[in-house]
Amino acid sequence: MIDILIVDDHPIMRFGIAALIGTQPDMKVVGQAGSGEEGVDLFSQLRPDLTLMDLQLPGMSGASAIQKIRTRNGQAKIIVLTTYKGEEDIFQSLRSGASGYLIKGVSHDRLVEAIRHVYSGKTYVPPEISSKLTNRMPDAILSAREREVLALIAEGDGNRQIGKKLGLTEGTVKCHVGSILGKLQVEDRTQALIVALQRGLIHL
């Protein structure tokens, strides 16, 4: 019997996944969590064989929760089940220790297949997911500061406002913006936001 923990902030989604798993003779849902923090705590208490983890969670992100779980148990088996399709989301999740990555809306058969696959000690990354990683350019990764600047650009802030919020001069902010545009190979802020959202570098 495969004991499974579901971590997702949408009760209906958790209910649906649990109902599906309940139809399988070799699977059982032993716990459900609605946040990253709760997911980490329940994992420590229940020690499930496998965890299904969403990335978009209140408070602690799914990627951070994966890291904490894997720090506590390096053998933990985790499958990401999310709406995020960007190559950076995929890369960060797998680097954090996830053994599988699926997009919500996946067929029931594929979800069950993934669970059994990862439980057996293998990784499960469908071709349509792994192909996105080939488009990821390591030299295009933004620094932590550049991500902060980009997030504030997404909120509609100008260079002066960004500088005040981050404690930077307007000139320094301009340098960061220029670096962001260069790394993302775009010409303006709007294009930068579009590309960053597509790649999973930021989320609205």
For residue 150, pLDDT over 70 is answered with: yes
Residue 191 pLDDT > 80: yes
Model confidence pLDDT, tens digit, residues 155-182:
999 999 999 999 999 999 999 999 989 8
pTM: 0.77
Q: Report the C-alpha gap between 138 and 117 in whole angstroms.
A: 29
User: 138 pLDDT exceeds 70?
Assistant: no
Q: How does DSSP assign 102-154, residue by residue? A: EETT--HHHHHHHHHHHHTT--B--HHHHHHHTT--GGGPPPHHHHHHHHHHH
pLDDT, the chain, mean: 91
Residue 192 scores a pLDDT above 80: yes
Using DSSP, state whether 204 is helix, strand or coil: coil
Q: What is the CATH number of domain 2-133?
A: 3.40.50.2300
Residue ranges covered by each domain of the chain: 2-133, 138-199
Over range 140-161, report the average pLDDT.
88
H/E run at residue 21: helix 11-22
Arithmetic mean of pLDDT, 61-85: 94
For the cut 90, the answer to whether the pLDDT of residue 200 exceeds it is no
43-69: average pLDDT: 95
Tell me what pLDDT residue 141 has.
77
Residue with tokens 């996105």: 132
Residue range 138-199 in CATH 1.10.10.10 = yes
* Residue 117 banded pLDDT, cuts 50, 70, 90: very high
The per-residue pLDDT for 85 is: 86
User: Mean pLDDT over residues 27-43, rounded?
Assistant: 97
> HEC states along 44-90?
HHHCCCEEEECCCCCCCCHHHHHHHHHHHCCCCCEEEEECCCCHHHH
Q: What is the pLDDT of residue 30?
A: 97
